[in-house]
Homo-oligomer: A and B are copies of this chain.
Amino acid sequence: MNNIENIRHSLAHLLAASVLKKYKTAKLGIGPSIENGFYYDIQFKNPIAEADLAEFEKEIKNLIAQKLEFKGEKITPLKAKKLFAGQKFKLDLIKEFSKDKKDLTIYKTGEVFTDLCKGGHVKNTSEINPEAFKLTHTAGAYWRGDEKNPQLTRIYGLAFESKEELENYIKQQEEAKKRDHKILGPQLDLFFIDEKIGKGLPLWTPKGTAVKFELASFARELERKYGYEHVETPYLGAEELYRTSGHLDHYSSNMYAPINMDGGKFYLRPMACPHHIRMYQRKQWSYKELPIRYAEIADYNRYEKSGELMGMIRVRKFQLTDGHIFIAPEGLKEEFKNVCNMISEGIKGLGLLDIVSYRFSKRDPKNKEKYFKDDKLWNHAESIMKEALDELGLKYIEAEDEAAFYGPKLDVQAKNINGKEDTLFTAQIDFLLPQKFEIEYIDQDGQKKRPVMIHRSTIGCLERTFGFLIEHYAGAFPLWLSPVQARILPISEKFSSYANELKSELLKNNIRADFPEPNETLGKRIRAGEMEKIPLLIIMGEKEVTAKTLTMRRHSDKSQKEMTISELISLIQKEVKEKK
């Protein structure tokens, strides 16, 4: 255990000591170090106030100043029971820890405080920087995480080695909060989640839907460019389909409970591969026609535990810019490179080049449960993928045990604002499903052969990509993605008819413009437009109406420029086309 963890753990003890000083009857649970800090679970007779935290903080600083020593000691279970009499949760722990009759450990902080503890502390409180910790907030936590047990109060603290680190961390958290898509989404009226409809089932508002339509068009344009045909398939599938594919064997914990119908079971599909396979199998194909590339903005359903749901980034129903390629084995490597190029183009178009990294996700040969069994096929698929990546010169890390059950993956990873890494886009090689479904094509020699499949997403799942984009741009989308591209703000009502004329002209040119009633001062309306992060505010008064011009104010740099309507339209069309 490195020193910062010792510091954090020691602060948890000092917190407990401070609490007991003020609330003699408080019952202590446990107090570990965690990422960036520590906590202690404590049962109070009455709820504590926010002011208490400041008082505890003061007392902790006082204890630190006393340069108290931390000392461990072995103790028999019997003695421990006496020592912690009255501390019911500690007695619970003693009972559990002493099952094998061995001695327990306690840790003393000077003569001030004793805790049942396995250790991991500083030697002396003087090692703790009193300016580098902070108690932040409280939350409820069931004893031992079991909701049948009493609920304790968890007091959270941050702790670092230096004051600077603490301040940086707090600043970064505040910045993250400003970008948090879960906050910005409803605030900018882009999406919302309604528990009456269901957890993990977001609703796209008119503004969010405008962005979604742009993302969908972008994906489809890319797909057309790379030779895909669009299909549409249902989000349901009969049991037999997912038996054949192996999803029910390898993936059922991510699937919803089945729907019973006409004596059979139907599943909300977790993936669309079987549907695209059946699409391929509707006719016989010649080698001349391959590769067949199907793309679909496909509805996916995944069972996620309610505690793991997160805004738009982890949801229970989403739309993947999905696609499957059926190709003769000889063409696999080149086609996989095409796929990587298409994905790169998508990343660039979305402006995410700086925040993504590539991960080559392989199976863990020891994990027999998760992956289908065929070492030869696995080795072949992984080596072809590696060759393709190396020939493209992509920088990637290798990750074991992150493959799909049917094959290795190239994952495009991105960290969200809370530092958690998620997969945004993916491309996978699959020799398994073609076998399971007995997919075929007729080769040059007239013989039936088996194609290979590539599973890939163009710009990932629209929900997740949207969540990342909100955070990446802090809600200030580039022009082409903005739900409202231009807001029209006449200086006063007097110029409303000119404003309306302008609005129609913009709408006619497929520019998303709005013109709210000018019932506030111009200053207030400009500030509202800034708050809503609208890229272009279009201002007009006597001067502009006379000259048949307008003044354009940019959100990004607050610059203002006078121009004609047609100049504005050309400028917007150009920037939209260039995805600026």
Interchain nearest-CB distance for A172 vs B (Å): 31
A278→B234 contact, CB < 8 A: no
* Complexed CA–CA distance, A21 and B66 (Å): 117
B230→A194 contact, CB < 8 A: no
Interchain nearest-CB distance for A551 vs B (Å): 27
B236→A203 contact, CB < 8 A: no
Contact A203 B233, CB 8 Å, known A197-B241, A241-B196: yes
Q: How many copies of this chain are found per oligomer?
A: 2
B238→A198 contact, CB < 8 A: yes
Residues of B near A249 (CB, < 8 A) are none
A430 close to B (CB within 8 Å): no
A259 close to B (CB within 8 Å): yes
Interchain nearest-CB distance for A70 vs B (Å): 43
Residues of B near A213 (CB, < 8 A) are 230
A338 close to B (CB within 8 Å): no
Residues of B near A431 (CB, < 8 A) are none
Residues of B near A199 (CB, < 8 A) are 262
A324 close to B (CB within 8 Å): no
Q: Looking at the complex, which one of B189, B257, B259, B303 makes contact with A268 (CB distance below 8 Å)?
A: B259
Q: Looking at the complex, which one of B206, B259, B299 makes contact with A299 (CB distance below 8 Å)?
A: B299
* Complexed CA–CA distance, A189 and B240 (Å): 25
Residues of B near A257 (CB, < 8 A) are 259-261
Residues of B near A278 (CB, < 8 A) are 194, 196-197, 203
Please tell me the number of chain A residues within 8 Å of chain B, measured between CB atoms.
54
* Complexed CA–CA distance, A241 and B198 (Å): 9
A212 close to B (CB within 8 Å): yes
Residues of B near A256 (CB, < 8 A) are 259, 261, 266
A229→B203 contact, CB < 8 A: no
Closest 7 CB pairs of A and B: A206-B229, A204-B232, A201-B234, A209-B230, A198-B238, A257-B260, A203-B233
Question: Chain A residues in contact with chain B, CB under 8 A?
Answer: 189, 192, 194-199, 201-206, 208-210, 212-213, 229-238, 240-241, 256-262, 266, 268, 274-275, 278-279, 282-283, 288, 294, 299, 303, 306, 316-317, 517
Q: List 26 A-B contacts (CB under 8 A).
A: A194-B278, A196-B240, A197-B236, A197-B274, A197-B278, A198-B237, A198-B238, A199-B262, A201-B234, A202-B234, A203-B231, A203-B234, A203-B278, A203-B279, A204-B232, A205-B282, A206-B229, A206-B231, A208-B232, A209-B229, A234-B317, A236-B317, A257-B260, A259-B259, A259-B268, A262-B306
